[in-house]
């Protein structure tokens, strides 16, 4: 994507991001609908190709056809490229080409990059982009190596290498696509420590966000972590630990999930299923076999999602932490929200509340629409809607059975989830003008 093209347009950065992702999706859908992309040469129906391209570009992982058996190698490579572009962002990829060609990055392009990376300022944005590219390729290379060595025990080395590359890219970008066939994801390796630990390493690394990874790698030089990194690490660790404990307790006696595994398999699977809903979409247990309490808890994890500046979706860990901080401050009778001895500005709290309410409204509306058009259980529909919004990709198996209207709705939800409801709102609204006056303060009774 030539980023200088967008600089000719007098659009706001959020609008350029929306249009840019839409163009990538349409190009991907066109290629996936061509005969060479399918294994039998028949060509995929355009609506299904559009759904698949949206799922890949939004790094979700929901599929209407089995990626491992329906698509040819060429089709699978297209999906992998869409995942990479969607995970890193088309502006990041455009910047990579510009840097390789030694072209100057204009001020407007830096503004777009700032919006794409969810940064508060343009300072050091090109340096951050370089780090993003290096970190991403490094993690994917390590994941490819580990997966290839393990898969080589089960298949020829060439196939193992191909599977290693595809799944390393998919999992680091929190996409959840797999090519094992029959919608199996990683269920064949439910108690395999190498596959599970490698997959979790990739998912967590991609979901932490590139700012946090940079902070961790430069910890000694900086002699400390930023407030953002501390919040992300604490909240991520807490959600993974609490999630693993809850899933372990709910599924311990379920013969269809953890009940048939030994203690090592139970613990490993509990942690994996706690990590995966953080927008990764891979699964080692059959989601449809989970108990309803586990499914509802997974929905909550999917709604929270990953962290800002990462390859994941959801309302983000920092948003959730800010809301928790607001509740704690209210209970303690404090006016300020304090995290790690830093006070958060009120605009941060309002932004967190806005993102949460817009996201909740989106999930509710999508769930209502699907409930009216799809003949499925409510928990399955709510699970699908939340998975699409959080760009997770976990499913209870209803995605291939969706009506055409349902596929369109889920596609829009995945698109909105990847960009974020607030970015879409900014893209659709005109530029905000500064108010020249303020209304008198009023009081209403709350609660």
Confidence (pLDDT) at 446 = 63
Kindly state whether residue 62 falls inside one of the protein's structural domains. yes
What does pLDDT average to in each consecutive run of 10 residues of the chain (447 residues)? 48 68 91 93 92 92 92 94 81 50 54 53 62 84 96 93 95 90 88 94 87 80 83 93 95 91 92 90 90 95 87 87 90 85 86 90 95 93 94 91 94 87 57 65 67
* Structural domain containing residue 167: 3-426
409 vs 197: CA distance, rounded Å: 34
Structural domain count of the chain: 1
Residue 2's pLDDT is: 47
Residue 438 domain-assigned (yes or no): no
Within a domain: 184: yes
The structure tokens listed for 233 are 């690490």
> For the chain, how many helices (H) and strands (E)?
19, 2
pLDDT at 131: 75
State how far the Cα of 447 lies from the Cα of 250, in Å rounded to an integer: 33
Judge whether 431 lies within some domain. Answer: no
- Give the model's pLDDT for residue 212: 85
Distances (CA, A) of 238 to 78, 233, 271, 330: 36, 8, 12, 22
Instruction: Extract the runs of DSSP E, i.e. beta strands, from 207-353.
Output: 337-339, 342-344
So what's the pLDDT on residue 281? Answer: 84
pLDDT of residue 203: 92
* Residue 383 maps to a domain: yes
Q: Tell whether 440 is covered by a domain.
A: no
338 forms bridges with which residues in the sheet? 343
In a domain, 227, yes or no: yes
d(CA 177, CA 233): 26
Assess if residue 404 is contained within a domain.
yes
């Amino acid at each position: 994507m030539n980023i200088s093209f967008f600089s000719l347009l007098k659009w706001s950065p959020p609008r350029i991001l929306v249009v840019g992702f839409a163009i990538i999706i349409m190009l991907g859908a066109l290629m996936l609908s061509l005969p060479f992309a399918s294994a039998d040469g028949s060509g995929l129906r355009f609506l299904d190709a559009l759904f698949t391209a949206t799922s890949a570009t939004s790094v979700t992982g929901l599929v209407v056809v089995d990626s491992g058996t329906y698509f040819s190698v060429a089709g699978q490579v297209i999906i992998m490229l869409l995942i990479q572009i969607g995970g890193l962002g088309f502006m990041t990829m455009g910047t990579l080409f510009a840097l390789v060609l030694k072209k100057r990055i204009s001020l407007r392009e830096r503004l777009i990059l700032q919006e794409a990376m969810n940064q508060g300022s343009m300072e050091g944005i090109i340096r951050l982009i370089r780090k993003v590219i290096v970190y991403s390729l490094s993690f994917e290379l390590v994941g490819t190596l580990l997966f290839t060595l393990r898969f080589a025990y089960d298949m020829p080395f060439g196939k193992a290498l191909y599977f290693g590359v595809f799944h390393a890219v998919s999992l680091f970008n929190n996409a959840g696509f797999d090519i094992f066939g029959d919608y199996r994801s990683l269920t064949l390796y439910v108690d395999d420590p190498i596959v599970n630990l490698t997959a979790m390493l990739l998912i967590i690394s991609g979901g932490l966000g590139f700012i946090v990874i940079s902070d961790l790698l430069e910890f000694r030089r900086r002699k400390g972590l930023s407030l953002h990194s501390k919040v992300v690490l604490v909240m991520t660790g807490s959600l993974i630990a609490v999630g693993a404990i809850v899933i372990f307790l709910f599924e311990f006696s379920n013969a269809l999930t953890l009940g048939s595994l030994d203690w090592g398999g139970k613990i490993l699977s509990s942690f994996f299923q706690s990590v995966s809903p953080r927008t990764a979409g891979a699964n080692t247990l059959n989601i449809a076999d989970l108990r309803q309490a586990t499914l509802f808890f997974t929905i909550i994890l999917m709604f929270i999602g990953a962290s800002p500046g990462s390859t994941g979706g959801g309302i983000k860990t920092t948003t959730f932490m800010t809301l928790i901080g607001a509740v704690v401050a209210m209970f303690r009778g404090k006016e300020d929200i304090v995290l790690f001895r830093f006070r958060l500005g009120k605009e941060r709290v309002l932004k967190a509340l806005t993102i949460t309410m817009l996201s909740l409204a989106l999930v509710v509306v999508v769930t209502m629409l699907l409930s009216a058009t799809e003949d499925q259980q409510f928990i399955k529909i709510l699970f699908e809607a939340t998975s699409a919004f959080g760009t997770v990709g976990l499913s209870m198996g209803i995605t291939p059975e969706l009506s055409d209207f349902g596929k369109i709705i889920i596609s829009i939800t995945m698109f909105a989830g990847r960009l974020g409801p607030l970015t879409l709102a900014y893209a659709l609204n005109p530029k905000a003008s500064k108010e020249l006056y303020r209304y008198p303060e009023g009081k209403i009774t709350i609660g």
